[in-house]
Amino acid sequence: MSTLMEYLPVLLPVIIIQLVLMLTALVHALRHPHYRFGNRIIWVLVIAFGQMIGPIIYFVIGRGEEE
């Protein structure tokens, strides 16, 4: 348990960044109907199960044009 407490100051910001990034990507994917590749279900799964890289992939290649 003491090992976890040693790494907590490093892990906590990473966890918070991951959650904020995931929630931002999910909100965007659910509100916008246009995607460059795939559909809404595929992108929600990529974002939710892709951990840190899933939301980044969505914002780089999946997000469609804004209207």
Residue pLDDT, tens place only, 18-64:
999 999 999 988 888 888 887 888 889 998 998 889 988 888 888 77
SS3 state at 67: coil
Q: pTM of the entire structure? A: 0.77
Q: How far is CA 8 from CA 1, 20, 25, 33, 53, in A?
A: 11, 18, 25, 38, 22
SS3 state at 63: strand
| SS3 track for 5-62 | HHHHHHHHHHHHHHHHHHHHHHHHHHHCCCECCCCHHHHHHHHHHCCCHHHHHHHHHH
* pLDDT reported for residue 67: 54
